[in-house]
Structure 1
């Protein structure tokens, strides 16, 4: 139509096919699929393993050793090889290590605490960002519906002004005004659809979900 040649904006012009999620569902998805959160959780598991391994160094160690082979024989047949084997057991207890093991455990437990705190902080940030994204999605969906109503009203006003112009009861200025109102309503709808897409993409990024085919 006037200025742009656009008569209507079809539903879904700037829309992503995305299931509606509650806050609880979205957070659960983020816990399962958000890559940043997954890396943070992996770091916690690594830290736990490091602490467990360090604590093993405080415990006694029992080792078994065995070997077999051949050796020279006895006189007078010294060149005749004889079967030979050796076996033994070793035992060590970390009594004198200068407290290095305990210090190492303390450091790694501190690192574990930091990684766990980071996971908790990250989860709080995810919850806050997901909440904001869901609010943006809902508000822009409402705005799009309201904009559709405004487009219908502006289109009717546009048709009425054209009819009045044909009957000689309207001026070209009125036509220009109603056309401008109609274009403004279309632009508002497109802006809200764009904002909705941004909010949906943000939710997708936060939760790690896939788009619906």
Structure 2
């Protein structure tokens, strides 16, 4: 009995142990990490063309406009329709009249010279009193003169389709800019994360040096506590930087319709090759020329001028302005179509039918069908519409005025947008040129400060301040590189981009709080 109870306990314990084994983290064999997929900016732009929802919506709008052009053109062509009807009458007034007439004639007949012909033998009575009707018809109509209304409708639909095609180009350009911005945002957050990692390592190294000097009695407890606090305060920034990096990568995957867990290896670099740092001039006086200090770097002017000259920044080249012009054309054509309602409308019609009135359910032969063919020309004129046409013309004229005002707003907005894009590129180029030598000088300053602190020449406060300066210089250089790339891409795509709502680009991620771009 004891052996049996022990066996039962083992039978219960073994499955429970298996479940516990599965629930323990790491108990299952770990899956091999997925290799990161190399992704360049050119490849990202190629993937975005076929996966963007906004581009798909714009293409659907162009398809709808193309269908509307076909609808308007169909109104100019003959309209031909066929009908086929079969009908059985359960009660027929003409059959009842014929039957009553036959009954009266049979009861009152005298055999004299009266007509004894049955009413049912009359062909007209046969048609109206037939129990079954079979009708096949063919009708056609062709507008002859509509006062230009149909042709104006066709032209308006064509202009609307051209506007939809411009919308596709604009949507594709916006997607390219969004993907470029998301790509460089991801590179920027990776760089900021690496800076945060390096800063934490530097803080840890400082803490260990202070700990060593504290162990030999050369440093006070206050210095040790401050070094530990400095190290611990760096951890939240490190975690925030890593979170921002993952958020930027998720945003990039979302734009490209890639799996959310697919690792990416961004192959392009956010920074360009740095120009050699010019040696500082030796000043023999403390006098400073304000104009010389505040003057724009000639290298910046040349770089901005080369980019601006390669792009058509005029207002008429903008996609939004061209669409607004198409809207004016559509409004004018709609006004013309509305005014044509005051003119007579002339159309030709024809209707061909074959009618049968069989005595049975279906006709027995083609001889049972009788032809019925009509041809006509119709003329219609709106003699009195209660003011409907007049008010429709007033509304159409208001549409033209509104479209022209929107065109003017688009032209003004395009001019402002071009100026802002050039100013943003100038700012980004200036920041990039200014950050070229700052990072290397800050790195050298930190190395000197670390040696001075290790030798006991300087204090921990000096080392911390130098570390903060180095972190800020590296972050500023990464942001300047990102801003420069995005500003150049924005100016390159400027003719095809929609107008900016505020006329300014979205802010770049900061060193402490980096967020993904708006879609």
Structure of higher CA gyration radius: 2
Decide whether aligned partners of structure 1 residues 190 and 110 sit closer, same or farther in structure 2, where only a CA change above 3 A counts. same
- Once residues 335 and 310 of structure 2 are traced to their aligned partners in structure 1, the CA distance between those partners, rounded to angstroms, is 35
Decide whether aligned partners of structure 1 residues 197 and 208 sit closer, same or farther in structure 2, where only a CA change above 3 A counts. same
Q: Counterpart of 1:75?
A: none
Which structure 1 segments of 5+ residues have no match? 73-78
- Does the CA-based 8 Å contact 1:30-1:208 persist in structure 2? no
Q: Counterpart of 1:158?
A: 446
Q: So what's the TM-score if we normalise by structure 2?
A: 0.31
1:120 Cα deviation (Å)?
Answer: 1.9
Q: Counterpart of 1:59?
A: 343
Is 1:208 aligned with 2:517?
A: no
- Once residues 411 and 373 of structure 2 are traced to their aligned partners in structure 1, the CA distance between those partners, rounded to angstroms, is 59
1:143 Cα deviation (Å)?
Answer: 0.7
Q: Counterpart of 2:333?
A: 49
Correspondence list, 1:31-46, <5 A: 31-32=318-319, 34=320, 40=324, 43-46=327-330
Q: Deviations over 1:10-51 (max 9, x none)?
A: 96159xxxx94459624569723x5xx676555434423321
Decide whether aligned partners of structure 1 residues 40 and 100 sit closer, same or farther in structure 2, where only a CA change above 3 A counts. same
Alignment partner of 1:12 out of 270, 275, 297? 270
Q: So what's the TM-score if we normalise by structure 1?
A: 0.66
RMSD between aligned residues: 4.1
State the secondary structure of the residue aligned to 1:12.
Answer: coil
Aligned residues: 192
**Bigger RCO of structures 1 and 2 (CA < 8 A, at least 6 apart):** 1
Decide whether aligned partners of structure 1 residues 131 and 81 sit closer, same or farther in structure 2, where only a CA change above 3 A counts. same
State the secondary structure of the residue aligned to 1:171.
Answer: coil
- Once residues 23 and 100 of structure 1 are traced to their aligned partners in structure 2, the CA distance between those partners, rounded to angstroms, is 53
Decide whether aligned partners of structure 1 residues 201 and 29 sit closer, same or farther in structure 2, where only a CA change above 3 A counts. farther
Decide whether aligned partners of structure 1 residues 121 and 23 sit closer, same or farther in structure 2, where only a CA change above 3 A counts. farther
- Does the CA-based 8 Å contact 1:23-1:134 persist in structure 2? no
- Once residues 269 and 201 of structure 2 are traced to their aligned partners in structure 1, the CA distance between those partners, rounded to angstroms, is 17
1:80 Cα deviation (Å)?
Answer: 6.0
Q: Counterpart of 2:352?
A: 68
Q: Counterpart of 1:3?
A: 199
Q: Counterpart of 1:136?
A: 424
